[in-house]
Amino acid sequence: MRFNRFFRASAGLAGVAGLFFLTTNHATAQEGPDDLFNRGVALLQDGQYPGAEEAFSTMIERFERDAERLFGPRFGTVYFHRGVALEGQRRFQEAADDFEVSATRFANRAGDRRINPYATMSLLHVGGALMRIENPDYELVLEVFQRFQRQVEDDPPDAANIAYNRATLLANIAISEARAQRPRNAAQTFRRLMSDPGGFCRETRSNFQKTQQTVHAAASEIVESFQVNDIPDAGLEFVDEFRPALTEDRAISYFYTPRYLEAASNAAREGYYAFALSIYSILPTSQQVLDGLALNRARLEAFPHADGRPREMANVLDRIEQRVIEDMESGTPVDAWVLDGVARVFFLNGNQQAAYGTYRTLIDMFPNSQLRPQMLYFAAATASTTGRLAATQQYGERFLEEYPDHELRDRVEELLLESLFWNARYEEALAVGKDVRERATQDDMFELSDFVIGGSLYFLGRFPEAERELRAFREKWPDSERTEPARYYLADNLARLNRFVEAGAMLDSFLNDYPNSELLDLALYSRANVHYNQEELNPAVTRLGQFLSQRPNSEIRDQALNLLGNINDSLGNTETAEQNYRDALAFARRLGNRSTAAQSLIFLMGLLSEDEERDEEVVELAEEFFRDHPNDLNRARAAVVPLDAMDRLGRIDEGLARIESLIPTFGEDLEAAGMEDLILAYVKHAEAGGLSMEELRERLYNFPRVPESAVALRARLMMALIDFYEQRINEEDDEATVARMEGEIRGVFGQLRREFPIESLSNYILVRVGDYLVRYEEFAAAREYFDRAIESPDTEFQDRATFNLGFLLLLSESREDNRRAFGYFDRIMEDFRFDRLLVEETFRMRALGHEMLEEWDRVESVWREYLRYEGGAFRRYQTEAFYKIGLSFDRRGQWEAAMDNYAQVWVLDPGNLLFSAPAWFRMAEINFHERGHKQNAYENLWDMVRRAAGGIGHLEAEEQRILDNPDQYADRLNRRLMADRLQRNYIAHAKRELEVWERDPGVTAKSDEP
Amino acid sequence: MKKFAIFATTCLLALAGAGNVAAQSAPSGDEEMERGIQAPPSVRAIIRAEVDGSVQTLLGIFLFKVEDGEIIYADNPESFNAERLPVAAIQNVAVELPEVIENALSAYRARQFDDALPLLNRVVRRYEPLRDLDFLPIRQAEIYRFDCMRRMGEFDQLRDELAVLEREEFTSSEQAVLSVFPAWEAHAAEDWPRVRVITRDPDSVPPGPAAAEMAFLRGEALRHLAERESSERAEMLNDALAEYHRAMTMDYTFSRDLVGDAAIAALRIYDADERVAEYFRRWGTPDFSETAGYVIPVREAAWLAYMIETMDLDGRELPEDLQRFSGLFARFADDLEEAARGEQEDEATAAQAPELAGAEDDIEDLNAGDEGGGDDEPEDE
């Protein structure tokens, strides 16, 4: 294009110049100035710029010294043409220098008729060339253009040769102003360009031909300049003002799309969002470009020359078409870039919906785009934030499948994991979390997967596993951002494991550390619940008070009200409790918390069923429950609670029918709340409902609509049969019937062991089968059942299983096992501290354990603690306690202390000969052997034997109890420990001892037998 | 076939002087009508085509119609000689758009729909015989005409005309645009199930104004239908939000009125969102948490309100009943700065530099080509 322009300009010039030079008398022999000049021009016309340059340079070399004299200003044409030749070689600085020489050194002057026809036009060319050098000085360029404009206005001698396109000059000035960081000036110049009336202007000697190229070349620079100069508002106004012009032609502007895109992208990055959007809004889509090309091709400017040569405009259109097609074929056309940019603006402004919608389209429309990984990532991310779980998974998984090694892989996995977890898809979160943890290489992925695994286990109710994971998480990632939820999960998890002491402490510390936690309501509720379970009713009320005042709109307010009802019920405030439950019910219904509403109904039923006068209401509530919540998890309890009221109202058959219809609905649901109660209640009320024992047995074995495959349920029903037989054995006098029932029990237990996989059994059954195995001394097998119970998500009977495991470890021959037993007892002492009965038994078991290990100081301390327990001293085993404390001193050779404690045994319960007899005996022995009170010792022992023989006390009964109750594990252990002191051994032993002592010189023997 | 000599230099220069706008000497369609000339409407053109095995240039001819794949033309607008030229033989063409077409398109682009519609009616009616020529914007004028009807609420006419429209005569991109009008008509009738059916596949329309309109209409359908179908209400409203947002992005926010309408409609969904209510309820109380879930929709709504208030959306303003969202955006300013910083620092997800083929060199060339000499006029032949 430059060539064409020069060609036309120099073609005109050649005639003039040739004529000029020919008139001089300085033609050389070799090649005169005209020859040289004409040769240069001809070479320029052929596009042979180096040759042309050489011709003009030769001319300058040969004539420059006398140029002023010989040619005057006209010699400037030589510099002008050499400038053009240099421009053709892209040597813009040298070209600008030559144009400058033509414009200044060879400027026209008054009186000199040897006119340089290009003196003024040279200035325009200086500006043009300076714009194209590396790192142009745009202030200088602008200065040059101003000189040009001033010179034109001065009507110079070369005015006849001044011809230029005003639109182009204005565009170049605007571009230079923009690049000189004066965007407002540039915009003003652009405004002149756009408002120019067009046509030839006599004053400026310019025509006006504004093309889309001119418009966009300037506009794109100006837009960019506004952004660079941090004046986005002015930029926004600029785009808004010229939007119609900038969007008029959708084809040519495509050339300038990269610059616009970059400006928009930078504006977005700088936070100039409205400006960024306004820039994006003027860009064409690929289809618009293609449509626009067809119309542009029908413009005259694109029509070929007469000889068929294409015009520059046609070339431009071809190039645009080629590029838009290339861009489309590349998979990332302009549409993808712009949509990505627009979506990102919305995304950066927290508007995830837009980003989601846009990325969804991008993914569908540009499957081969280089941006696809980012598209999939953002689609998944925004789908997640906008609550579209399926889409999150879909895009996330597609990413992982298509880009398994992409650098964003971790992010996507993180996203999927978080999304699954926070959307309560815990089973999947757990599976993915484990998978991620196996493959993770980065700490943050380890951390996240640890958290999700622990949290998911917690939400899935797999509390023992959850505890391990959450504890590990806390230890491994003490500074994690997820510490807060993890601490809450762990604390509440412990509460659900009934380890209330530890849970309570953790919750207290959580509440202390996070007084404004998002989880505050949950933590307060959990803490209140723990207090309630520890029978600390007043602190529970305090925590619930905090809950209701600090989180009045909590989504678990209904649950808190239910708990408050329970507490008030425990405190005997039945009216308040009823109101609490009714409030909870109303609130739950308003929030749509169906399960809590169902729970409120059950609590209400329970409360009202204590008052026989309200039986009708209870039954109505039950009907309401089964109408509104027929599939509620607690439906079993809801069926059981009103049974007594129904019985009293003579409607027990309805209750039983309901249970019969309910039982099969549980299928294999091991966690079904109240299942045991349901079956037990069924059995309990069966007779009242008219079932004979045989019928009940048959019914439990083959329960209606319970298929063979429902193993967990069948196991429960069989267990109910055992319970039923055991209860009847206690009431039955007929030995044959008892024997038959005992046989049945053994048969059912055997069947439970053989036919039911251990994992299908509930904790109740596991503990019962374990106990059964202990009775028959199958200790190893029993341990399996107890182990399974404490690992099970079922929290029922875990206390018992824990206790029994401790016991079994004490029975082991291995010292290591024996010591491990104390771990289980410690857990009971902590987690089940509220259960005094269990704690008391555990004290005894611990003391026995230490006794077995002959750790006498421990024996003493445990029993002492037992006698002074902070929650209220225990009494049940105090005789044994004093005896064992005495024994501990005895074994350590501390005779006086031993004597004191043995004496206490006699003071407290002399009739409890299991302990009082050996205490008496040891007192005598110590007196005899250690203290030398031989006569006294002899008489005491004699007296004791006499009394025992006379049947004083209840030694035999005590001994019998121990032997008859193999399920009383402490007694069982004691029997082992006390074997040598049991009555039958002991009397014989004492008699033998008396015979020995009678022969001692220090003893005066009695004449008669004791 | 009449042989054309290259004789019309003056004619060419006259055309050249006016660019692709009306030449001084060429009568426009309107002028023809005003003069009461009964000649059929034509478009003046220069065509370069292969005729009888050689390439010829047909200068200053008048195109009358396209029939059976051939252009029927003459060298005189008033004397219709049945010269024919296969369209496929055309290599290049330059046309001089009649003023009526220029005016009609200009009025439409200036959003003066009242003025544009009668002009477009005339264009479509007069130049119907030439509508198959891709280099003439006749079909485009027809589409603009439908759009004017839609914007002026003339849905009865729109429906009637669309019913008999031969869609296969349009290109696929034009058909995509046409497919939106029935949805607008159903939208005007508030027949939401129909709008939903028509817009069921919004992703089938490539990015551009039609895609934006399609998304907006689908959003409208989903929003209104959600009120009737309580079981899927939340999901439908969420989908409606996504569609409204797509309407704001699918044509890069080019359709400013649509962006404004979609933003206001989306704000209405946010306004009724319980989470948004919870945000306002908790704001300023100790209960408030900046990281709670209810902040997410409020941030989205705040941006839309900000957009309406700061951008020129064809006169759309934040409605009175949605004023609680006004200025809300400022509350998230810190977050935004942080997000922007994060975005900058985050190489993996940071906006990538576009890699379109349009390059600086070409821009330079174009600049350079324009620069200086006032030499863009066509050469003398």
Question: Which of A303, A514, A553 would you mutate first to test chain B, the one with the most B CBs within 10 A?
Answer: A303
* Nearest residue in B to A299, CA atom: B94
Q: What is the pLDDT of residue A980?
A: 55
What is the Cα–Cα distance from A347 to A270, expressed in whole angstroms?
14
Q: By the CB < 8 Å criterion, does B335 face chain A? A: yes
In chain B, residues with a C-beta closer than 8 Å to the C-beta of A348 are: 336, 339-340, 343
* Helical H segments across A180-231, by residue range: 183-195, 212-228
| CB contact (8 A) between residue B15 and residue A300 | yes
Alpha carbon separation from A384 to A265, A418, A486, A740, B242 (Å, rounded): 25, 9, 22, 63, 13
Count the neighbouring beta carbons within 10 Å of the beta carbon of residue B216.
29
Closest partner residue to A269 (CB to CB) among B246, B351, B365 is: B351
Chain A closest CA to B345's CA: distance in Å? Answer: 11
| CB contact (8 A) between residue B92 and residue A297 | yes
What is the Cα–Cα distance from A63 to A75, expressed in whole angstroms?
9
Q: What is the pLDDT of residue B15?
A: 30
DSSP label at residue A733: -
Closest CA to A970 of A890, A868, A862, A894: A862
In chain B, residues with a C-beta closer than 8 Å to the C-beta of A259 are: 360, 363
Contact A91, A134 (CB under 8 A): no
> Distance from CA of residue A586 to its chain's centroid?
33
In chain A, residues with a C-beta closer than 8 Å to the C-beta of B363 are: 217, 220, 255-256, 259
Closest partner residue to A348 (CB to CB) among B292, B304, B340 is: B340
The parts of chain A modelled with pLDDT lower than 70 are 1-30, 667-673, 871, 948-973, 975-986, 1010
What is the Cα–Cα distance from B279 to A883, expressed in whole angstroms?
68
Closest CA to A635 of A664, A675, A608: A675
What is the Cα–Cα distance from A681 to A660, expressed in whole angstroms?
11
What is the Cα–Cα distance from A805 to A783, expressed in whole angstroms?
6
Question: Which of A242, A259, A353 would you mutate first to test chain B, the one with the most B CBs within 10 A?
Answer: A353
| CB contact (8 A) between residue B312 and residue A240 | yes
Q: Which two tokens stand for residue A685?
A: 């009320």
Contact A242, A219 (CB under 8 A): yes
What is the Cα–Cα distance from A679 to A676, expressed in whole angstroms?
5
Residue A825 host element (H or E): helix A815-831
pLDDT tens digits, residue range B62-110?
Answer: 898 888 889 998 888 876 567 889 988 998 899 988 999 999 999 998 8
Closest partner residue to A323 (CB to CB) among B357, B364, B365 is: B357
Chain B closest CA to A308's CA: distance in Å? Answer: 9
What is the Cα–Cα distance from A120 to A169, expressed in whole angstroms?
14
Question: Which of B241, B249, B288 would you mutate first to test chain A, the one with the most A CBs within 10 A?
Answer: B249
Q: How many helices (H) and strands (E) does chain B have?
A: 16, 5
Residue B65 host element (H or E): strand B54-67
Question: Which of B371, B377, B379 would you mutate first to test chain A, the one with the most A CBs within 10 A?
Answer: B371
Burial of residue A401, with CB atoms counted within 10 A of its CB: 0-12 exposed, 13-18 middle, 19 or more buried:
exposed
Q: What is the mean pLDDT of chain A?
A: 86
Question: Which of B10, B58, B367 would you mutate first to test chain A, the one with the most A CBs within 10 A?
Answer: B367
Q: By the CB < 8 Å criterion, does B198 face chain A? A: no
CA–CA–CA angle B331, B332, B338 (5° rounding):
140
Q: Which two tokens stand for residue A477?
A: 């990632």
Closest CA to A44 of A23, A67, A16, A13: A13
In chain B, residues with a C-beta closer than 8 Å to the C-beta of A220 are: 363
| CB contact (8 A) between residue A294 and residue B134 | yes
Contact B44, B96 (CB under 8 A): yes
| CB contact (8 A) between residue B249 and residue A358 | yes
Q: What is the pLDDT of residue B32?
A: 45
Count the neighbouring beta carbons within 10 Å of the beta carbon of residue A731.
7
Q: By the CB < 8 Å criterion, does B373 face chain A? A: yes
| CB contact (8 A) between residue A300 and residue B359 | no
Q: What is the pLDDT of residue A303?
A: 87
* Nearest residue in A to B201, CA atom: A361
Q: What is the pLDDT of residue B113?
A: 93
Sign (positive or negative) of CA dihedral A159, A162, A167, A173 = negative
Has residue B48 got a pLDDT over 60?
A: yes
Beta bridge partners of A69: none
Q: What is the pLDDT of residue A711?
A: 82
In chain B, residues with a C-beta closer than 8 Å to the C-beta of A333 are: 356
Chain A closest CA to B138's CA: distance in Å? Answer: 11
In chain B, residues with a C-beta closer than 8 Å to the C-beta of A301 are: 19-20, 376, 378
Question: What pTM did the predictor assign?
Answer: 0.64
Q: What is the pLDDT of residue B342?
A: 58
Sign (positive or negative) of CA dihedral B32, B38, B42, B48 = negative
Q: What is the pLDDT of residue B364?
A: 37
Which of the pair, B244 or B348, is modelled with greater confidence? B244
Q: By the CB < 8 Å criterion, does B281 face chain A? A: yes
Beta bridge partners of B58: B47
Q: What is the mean pLDDT of residues B240-262?
A: 90
Has residue B12 got a pLDDT over 70?
A: no
Count the neighbouring beta carbons within 10 Å of the beta carbon of residue A966.
15
In this prediction the ipTM stands at 0.80
Question: Which of B12, B93, B245 would you mutate first to test chain A, the one with the most A CBs within 10 A?
Answer: B245
pLDDT tens digits, residue range A736-768?
Answer: 888 988 888 988 898 888 888 888 888 888 999
Q: By the CB < 8 Å criterion, does B367 face chain A? A: yes
* Nearest residue in B to A521, CA atom: B287
Contact B141, B124 (CB under 8 A): yes
Q: By the CB < 8 Å criterion, does B316 face chain A? A: no
* Helical H segments across A702-762, by residue range: 711-731, 735-755
| CB contact (8 A) between residue B369 and residue A295 | no
* Nearest residue in B to A211, CA atom: B370
| CB contact (8 A) between residue A332 and residue B355 | yes
pLDDT tens digits, residue range B180-233?
Answer: 999 999 999 999 999 999 998 877 788 888 999 999 999 999 999 998 766 778
